[in-house]
Structure 1
């Protein structure tokens, strides 16, 4: 059974070692993510995670160890306490690395990460969530995904539709609104470069049929990318 949910983005800038010159500018979203992770760990130190990734689709076991070397610093992270000294897998995708980093920051014991194609259909995502919800033990669900990268900012290529799209995501996460998440527009998400859409709709599949209480910890678009942090707990 899923006993709680933490929704976070997965940019490299969450890791202080990777943004030595901009730690203060990234502190607000980092602090919110760690707070969400700690709240999830207080409910269960055993985590499942879901994220979209074009680099790899499938399951990454809690035995995995990775490094942020490809993002500028050889910062080692592990998906479980037991695997902290294991051999580094250089191919772990960014969401998996961030899940391992947040596990360490929050004090969770282990996290198993499932990555799905961010271009998949609503039904594909929903079915993944329904499967994740069929657990015979209490687990926390970590949902990783970024909003649109088309907000005004240094990345360029702004699209005014990004503001409304991320506002819809923000409101759905704050209200724990499963139907609103399932209603997110798939083609528009692709146009706006929204990496989190599939993971949020997997969350909707996992949460369906139960009452939840949502709380938004952070929602903003620093550096031109939408980031949302929220916690859901059973109502």
Structure 2
């Protein structure tokens, strides 16, 4: 059974070692993500995570250890307490690394990460969430995904539709509106480079049939990318 949900983005800038010259500028979103993680860990230290990744679709077990070396710093993260650093996988996807980093910051015991196609259909994403919800133990659900990267900012490819799209995401996460999440447009998300759409729709599948209290901890696009942080608990 899913006992709580934390929704977070997964940019490398969450990790202070990767943004040595801009730690203060990234502090607000980092603080919100860690706060969401700690709230989830207070409900369960055993996590499942869901995220979209364009290259790897599958399950990363909790015994994995990875590194942010590909993002500039050899920062080691593990998906479970007590995991050694002797067998580091240099190819773990970014959302898996972010899940491991947040697990460590929040004090969770372990996280198993399911990555799915970020441009997959609504029904495919929903079915993954429904499957994740069929757990015989209490688990926290960590949902990782960014909003549009086409907001005005350093990306250099602004699209005015990004503001409205991320506003819809913000409102859906702030109110636990499952229908609104399932109604997010797949093609428009691809055009706006929204990496989190499939994961948010998997959340809708996982949360179906239950009432939830939602709280939005952060929603902004400080670097031209939409980032949303929310916590859901059973009502």
TM-score by length of 2: 0.99
- 1:20 is matched with 20
- 1:109 is matched with 109
- 1:10 is matched with 10
CA distance in 2, matches of 1:146, 1:101: 16
- 2:170 is matched with 170
CA distance in 2, matches of 1:84, 1:204: 35
> When the two structures are aligned, how many residues end up with a matched partner?
235
Query: Is the CA contact (8 Å cut-off) linking 1:64 and 1:86 kept in structure 2?
Result: no
Secondary structure of 1:17's counterpart equals helix
CA distance in 2, matches of 1:157, 1:31: 28
Q: How many Å apart are 1:84 and its aligned residue?
A: 3.8
Query: Is the CA contact (8 Å cut-off) linking 1:63 and 1:82 kept in structure 2?
Result: no
1:1-235 map, 5 Å: 1-235=1-235
User: How big is each residue's C-alpha offset from its partner over 1:181-234, in whole Å with a ceiling of 9 and x where there is no partner?
Assistant: 000000000000000000000000000000001000000001100000000000
CA distance in 1, matches of 2:85, 2:231: 31
User: How big is each residue's C-alpha offset from its partner over 1:110-153, in whole Å with a ceiling of 9 and x where there is no partner?
Assistant: 00000000010000000000000000000000000000000000
Query: Is the CA contact (8 Å cut-off) linking 2:76 and 2:85 kept in structure 1?
Result: no
CA distance in 2, matches of 1:198, 1:64: 24
Secondary structure of 2:81's counterpart equals coil
CA distance in 2, matches of 1:168, 1:213: 18
CA distance in 1, matches of 2:146, 2:55: 16
Query: Is the CA contact (8 Å cut-off) linking 2:8 and 2:228 kept in structure 1?
Result: yes
CA distance in 2, matches of 1:17, 1:85: 18
Secondary structure of 2:136's counterpart equals coil
Q: How many Å apart are 1:55 and its aligned residue?
A: 1.7
User: How big is each residue's C-alpha offset from its partner over 1:49-87, in whole Å with a ceiling of 9 and x where there is no partner?
Assistant: 000001210000000000000000000000000314341
Q: Which contiguous aligned blocks of 4+ residues in structure 1 show a shift greater than 2 angstroms?
A: none
Query: Is the CA contact (8 Å cut-off) linking 2:149 and 2:192 kept in structure 1?
Result: yes
Which consecutive residues of structure 1, in runs of 5 or more, have no partner in the other structure? none
Secondary structure of 2:223's counterpart equals helix
Q: How many Å apart are 1:90 and its aligned residue?
A: 0.8
Query: Is the CA contact (8 Å cut-off) linking 1:57 and 1:116 kept in structure 2?
Result: yes
CA distance in 1, matches of 2:83, 2:135: 23
Secondary structure of 1:222's counterpart equals coil
